């Protein structure tokens, strides 16, 4: 079963509500996450070098990639939703080629250099918009929700390609000299999208900074 666009619009705020309190953005949300795991077999990945751990329902999600280096940032882990097919997104970078995507969650870590959180979010959103447009997106819109505090932020938005609509939730946490950003991506219309959306805030809330 896949959800029509109207139903996803209704569910996104519910997912945001689960993880909106920035005072319990990461470590303080452990009790809530543990209670949500009841009945599921959860896997956990611990990275002592970069100081974090993350858990996910092993029946429905799996590790897609570990240790990817992107411009100006490090992506230590990406999880993908296994209960659906991939969706092809046309790319203007490689003419005639497409990228395949599935609902996913990834964690990125970079050095903030003392930048103000509001400025960090602004620069990040501008970079996302430019990146998505460069690969063929019609627009990137983040006005679904934005909350920024001194040491954390939450942003929700969507990306429109010619054949698909992506919904994204980002949680950002400043810890010492680093910024930890967890991004959850949902694809409108794919099979079992309502299950992926239900899992999303639980996985995002499971991220714990070890420090």
Divide the 211 residues of the chain into consecutive groups of 10 and give the mean pLDDT of each group. Answer: 43 47 40 51 91 93 84 83 83 57 91 89 86 79 74 85 83 91 88 87 89 73
The Cβ of residue 199 has, within 10 Å, a number of other Cβ atoms equal to 23
Q: Which domains does the chain have, with CATH numbers?
A: 5-209 (3.40.1000.10)
The residues pairing with 61 across neighbouring beta strands, listed in sequence order, are 81
pLDDT of residue 72: 66
Rounded CA separation 91/133 (Å): 10
Tokens 């990275």 correspond to 47
DSSP state of 113: T
Contact in structure between 122 and 101 (CB atoms under 8 Å): no
pTM for the whole thing? 0.80
- Determine what percent of the chain falls in helix, strand and coil, rounding each to the nearest 5: 30, 40, 30
Query: How far, CA to CA in Å, does 204 sit from each of 9, 80, 181?
Result: 19, 13, 10
Rounded CA separation 14/36 (Å): 15
Which of 101, 164, 157 minimizes the C-alpha distance to 137?
164
């Amino acid at each position: 079963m896949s959800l029509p666009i109207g139903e996803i619009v209704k569910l996104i705020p519910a997912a945001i509500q689960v993880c909106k309190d920035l005072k319990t953005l990461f470590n303080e949300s452990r009790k809530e996450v543990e209670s949500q795991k009841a009945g599921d077999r959860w896997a956990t990945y611990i990275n002592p070098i970069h100081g974090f751990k993350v858990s996910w329902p092993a029946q429905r999600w799996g590790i897609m990639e570990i240790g990817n280096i992107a411009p100006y940032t490090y992506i230590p882990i990406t999880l993908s939703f296994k209960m659906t097919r991939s969706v092809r997104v046309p790319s203007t970078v490689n003419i005639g080629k497409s990228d395949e995507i599935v609902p996913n969650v990834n964690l990125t870590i970079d050095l903030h250099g003392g930048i103000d959180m509001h400025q960090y979010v602004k620069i990040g959103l501008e970079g996302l918009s430019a990146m998505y447009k460069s690969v063929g997106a019609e627009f990137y819109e983040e006005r679904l929700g934005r909350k920024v505090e001194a040491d954390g932020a939450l942003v929700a938005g969507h990306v429109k390609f010619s054949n698909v609509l992506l919904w994204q939730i980002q949680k950002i946490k400043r810890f010492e000299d680093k910024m930890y950003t967890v991004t959850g991506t949902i694809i409108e219309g794919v099979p079992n999208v309502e299950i992926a959306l239900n899992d999303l805030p639980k996985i995002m809330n499971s991220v714990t900074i070890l420090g």
